[in-house]
Amino acid sequence: MSTMRGYLRSDGRKGIRNTVAVAYLVECAHHVAVEIALPWREEGVHAIGFPGCYPNPYAERMMEQLCTHPNVGAVLLVSLGCESFNKYALERAVRASGRPVKTIIIQGTGGTRASIREGRAWVEEQRKLLDAEETVPMAVSELVVGTVCGGSDGTSGITGNPAAGRAFDQLIAEGAACIFEETGELIGCEHIMAARAITSELGIELEKSVAKAARYYATLGYGSFAAGNAEGGLSTIEEKSMGAYAKSGASPISGLIKPGDVPPHGGLYLLDVVPDGEVRFGFPNINDNAEIAELIACGAHCVLFVTGRGSVVGSAISPVVKICANPETYRRMSEDMDVDAGRILEGRAGLDEVGTEIRDLVVSLGQGGRTKSEELGHQEFILTYKSFEPLGPACLPA
């Protein structure tokens, strides 16, 4: 058994980080939020936010889930003042979670400099209080782990993605909840996934989620297949899907969730990231960090990120473990990569060996370890407009 140390929250969940989230509620407050957080760039103060000026239930739910994430210990809300985001509802939700919270309204405070001064004073006070908090024992079974791939190439589905899948299988065997996505990159794999569902009704829901993604992309006129994927040796969405599917491992699929839904217990879950209803919002996820933010909103303590071409992004709130599928990419970009899965391609390691390495690295994050993206100060974050219907009863079998 591997014992970690966590920060106990009032809802019983535990975090592996104790971050102050500085959350802007409209793009007009973005600069002020970033400036407030800047002095603690390497000391657990992260800026997140929603740029839109008109209300969106998805964004409001995402922000509530992020601000009450187990890795977050205190929250500063930064409002311009005239945006439509319901700052008072968000403040109430954060306070009800037992976390310290304060709202700064720039128009009322007196502008940029006054708001930055007030915000920094509050963050400094909270940072000192959080740094003095004691941790409690935390088991692997209390972890939620997400996975995503980006900058995929022909090696991703051979090394990095299946190695992440092996890590998932090990974590799930220890009781952890693991989340894979995205349905737009699983087209052609829906019947295989359905066969792994713990109930036939869930299998039908898994197939429907992928069919929805296929309709969405057909309406837009393109799929989740970038030019960089083709340059990296991938030829079709089906080929890319098989590689992306490998991240899920071989465990039974316990449920289908949507952004902001927290897995109710350990097991494997598919995250449906494609909006419900008519196509209104353009590309479902504008970049990899949109997917990472949705995984974190589902409670992910950390995210496994597999890349073949190379990626340097990290994330606010939850650490990102970078798994490099291509050995040549790893040699060029080793300062940004946590795991060299390309060793598999060159015969220097096996899938199980690298899978165990990934699993052990995840556990080390709850023992004081840090990822390369954390050490480099990466805190990318993006949130856009979407719309989702609530889950049906078949999505989370009892």
pLDDT, tens digit (0-9, with 9 covering 90-100), for 253-267: 999 999 999 999 999
Q: Across residues 98-110, what is the average pLDDT?
A: 98
Q: What percent of the chain has pLDDT over 70?
A: 94
Confidence of residue 283 (pLDDT cuts 50, 70, 90): confident
pLDDT, tens digit (0-9, with 9 covering 90-100), for 328-358: 999 999 999 999 999 999 999 999 999 999 9
Residue 90 clears pLDDT 60, i.e. is over it? yes
Taking only Cα atoms into account, the Rg of the chain, rounded to an integer number of angstroms, comes to 20
Query: Is 110 in the same domain as 148?
Result: no
What residue numbers bound the domain in which 65 lies?
19-132
Which residue has better confidence, 167 or 284?
167
Residue 382 clears pLDDT 90, i.e. is over it? yes
Q: Judge whether 6 lies within some domain.
A: no
Task: Give the tokens for residue 124.
Answer: 């400094």
Q: What is the pLDDT of residue 34?
A: 98
pTM of the model: 0.95
Confidence of residue 235 (pLDDT cuts 50, 70, 90): low
pLDDT, tens digit (0-9, with 9 covering 90-100), for 362-377: 999 999 999 999 999 9
Query: Is 221 in the same domain as 280?
Result: yes
- Tally the domains of the chain: 2
Q: What is the pLDDT of residue 237?
A: 59
Task: Give the tokens for residue 237.
Answer: 């969405």
Query: Is 319 in the same domain as 227?
Result: yes
Query: Is 122 in the same domain as 254?
Result: no
Specify the CATH number for the domain of residue 86. 3.40.50.2300
Please name every residue paired with 15 in a beta bridge, in sequence order, or none if there are none: 7
Q: What is the pLDDT of residue 306?
A: 95
| Domain boundary pick from 132, 167, 199 | 132
Q: What is the pLDDT of residue 239?
A: 60
Query: Is 200 in the same domain as 324?
Result: yes
| Domain boundary pick from 116, 132, 148 | 132
| Domain boundary pick from 86, 109, 132 | 132
Q: Across residues 34-39, what is the average pLDDT?
A: 98
CA 240 to chain centre: 21
SS in 3 state form for the chain?
CCEEEEEECCCCCEECCCEEEEEECCHHHHHHHHHHHHHHCCCCEEEEECCCCCCCHHHHHHHHHHHCCCCEEEEEEEECCCCCCCHHHHHHHHHHCCCCEEEEEHHHHCCHHHHHHHHHHHHHHHHHHHHCCCCEEEEHHHCEEEEEECCCCCCCCCCHHHHHHHHHHHHHHCCCEEEECCHHHCCCCHHHHHHHECCHHHHHHHHHHHHHHHHHHHHHCCCCCCHHHHHCCCCCHHHHHHHHHHHHCCCCEEEEECCCCCCCCCEEEEECCCCCCCCCCCCCCCCHHHHHHHHHHCCCCEEEEEECCCCCCCCCCCCEEEEECCHHHHHHHHHHCCEEHHHCCCCCCCHHHHHHHHHHHHHHHCCCCCCHHHHCCCCCCCCCCCCCCCCCHHHCCC
Residue 31 clears pLDDT 90, i.e. is over it? yes
Q: Across residues 163-192, what is the average pLDDT?
A: 94
Query: Is 216 in the same domain as 128?
Result: no
Q: Judge whether 3 lies within some domain.
A: no
* Contact (Cβ atoms closer than 8 angstroms) between residue 15 and residue 7: yes
Query: Is 262 in the same domain as 385?
Result: yes
